[in-house]
Chain A
């Protein structure tokens, strides 16, 4: 830009640049560093919000306790002969399930947030359009960490002894957080599409139930009819559950872990651009 201002700045505020100077200093887009900094600022905002609305933690604290106990006692005897024998199968499954439920809330809250006046300001600021979406998702990593830790604690209290040891469990928790963050993009996309928070909730439920239950989270694939097994095998949640089992039960970083990460990357690659595009259209 070749904007030359020969006019002196008003004497009252010598700090102020002339508008021409400001116009000449503008940049055409956000750098990666700016985008990251904006995303972290939005994450900071989300953590403040969580601290002031502690009810946001209900799902990630109550559900791990409830689901672990419920499914283990309900299905353990029938599927594996005993609750203890079922736990190594079901704990990683419930881990994925709670992460998925936790990231469902991401979409609902984004939608609620977008209704508020403050989002008008976010839109009017020269900030990266991905920051308001990715920021809260980074804060949500805390929720996934809480949910997965509590699931393990409940399991261990019920007699689960993970063969992978502390390192295996830690890696399983990290994988769950990565998976939660990746799958949250699906719900973020729904959040930018739907007209109200309620409809986000409804649509998300319809996505979440098939994804979690039509996977190997609760039952071995071998017990399923062929058509169902075919879906279960391509479901990204199945990859994540298998990888989590390998990490928590065997302490091994297997090919399944690699495939789970590939599945996560694929989900991000599809749904992150879709979300940003749909969010921009709201402008």
Chain B
């Protein structure tokens, strides 16, 4: 039984002048899976998606969508894809209903079928009450959902989602995740990009980590997290002077160095499993080291990145990420 991959790309390259935004990426997405492309801002995720969606010319390498060559046959490729961008690409001058109807008509769906599908999608996405309202009255979450609905009007077998939940509140984000899962349950293949490890973890069957235009790792979410430990123990010591001793305790117990930030007395310890946290805490008490605060968290993208690439994501927009970055830099 021959199984055609949904996406098959080899050595994809995109250059903007001297800058190689995508630098030789291989990608293989099987039918029916959710494939996550994880990376910080500017890693080349969107550029890669745009090349696969025929929105940017491919400078090097080759790509196939369900066996159709993207570069040679862009028109066929477009018939197999639904693209939902980072920013809602729906028409502000039209209502939700009119938008969906128009996108159906533009793809050769009859007026009647287009209207019926539009109504069905609006209901599925919980937008039926806003069906005849202008888009300008829509919230961010509603726009995103409408945008996704617009990609589904011809029921394409492959959906590209470019950062589907960036900027959404947690509740709307959860709704979006459910919707994406439903799509795949219905037989769709999804290729999504995200900046959140959490999101890739929740949704993706497999993840590629992209950094500076290159694929630095690929695997299931569990494999990826295992590379940095499944969780991180964050500690603040009562006396910052104890840090060296505390680090030695951790090294002896786990065989790994913790990440230190001397000025704040903080210490982050990567753990294979969360219950190892207790062992660390007990050992620290036995060594007579006082602790003012403790938390056990999932690793952040920053930590995965540091582990995989040896440098952080370089994204200082988020204050906690900036703080982490400072810690990491000090530790290096």
Identify the A interface with B (CB < 8 A): 1, 3-7, 9-10, 12-13, 15-20, 22-23, 25-30, 34, 37-38, 41-42, 44-45, 48-49, 52-53, 116-127, 131, 283
Contacts and interface: CB of A to CB of B under 8 A. Distances in A.
A125 B108 CA distance: 11
Contacts of A125: 78, 103, 106-107
Given A37-B105, A124-B83, A13 B186 contact: yes
Given A4-B2, A44-B105, A121-B150, 5 more contacts: A3-B4, A12-B186, A19-B157, A118-B89, A121-B89
Contacts of A48: 93-94, 98
Given A3-B67, A23-B80, A37-B108, A124 B92 contact: no
Interface of B: 1-4, 6, 31-32, 53-57, 66-68, 73, 75-76, 78-81, 83, 85, 87-94, 98, 102-103, 105-108, 134, 150, 155-158, 185-187, 189
26 contacts: A3-B67, A12-B186, A16-B157, A16-B186, A19-B157, A19-B189, A22-B66, A23-B80, A26-B76, A27-B75, A27-B79, A38-B105, A41-B102, A45-B93, A45-B102, A48-B94, A116-B91, A118-B91, A119-B89, A120-B85, A120-B89, A121-B83, A122-B106, A123-B55, A126-B75, A126-B79
Contacts, number: 132
Contacts of A127: 106-107
Nearest to A124: B83
A53 B92 CA distance: 12
A28 B73 contact: yes
B102 A28 contact: no
Contacts of B105: 37-38, 41, 44
A117 B89 contact: yes
A44 B102 contact: yes
Nearest to A123: B55
Contacts of A122: 106
A124 B73 CA distance: 13
A118 to B, nearest CB: 4
A18 B186 CA distance: 11
Contacts of A28: 73, 75-76
Contacts of A22: 66, 79-80, 156-157
The 4 A-B residue pairs whose C-beta atoms are closest, nearest first, are A19-B157, A126-B78, A117-B89, A10-B187
B91 A29 contact: no
Contacts of B83: 120-121, 124
Contacts of B89: 117-121
A13 B94 CA distance: 30
Contacts of B73: 28
A19 B186 contact: no
Contacts of B31: 19
B90 A117 contact: yes
A29 B75 contact: yes
Contact of A27 (B54, B76, B158): B76
A117 B85 contact: yes
A28 B90 CA distance: 26
A260 B49 CA distance: 48
B101 to A, nearest CB: 9
B6 A19 contact: yes
Contacts of B32: 10
Contacts of A10: 32, 185-187
Nearest to B114: A41
B152 to A, nearest CB: 11
A124 B81 contact: yes
Contacts of B185: 10, 12
A52 B133 CA distance: 13
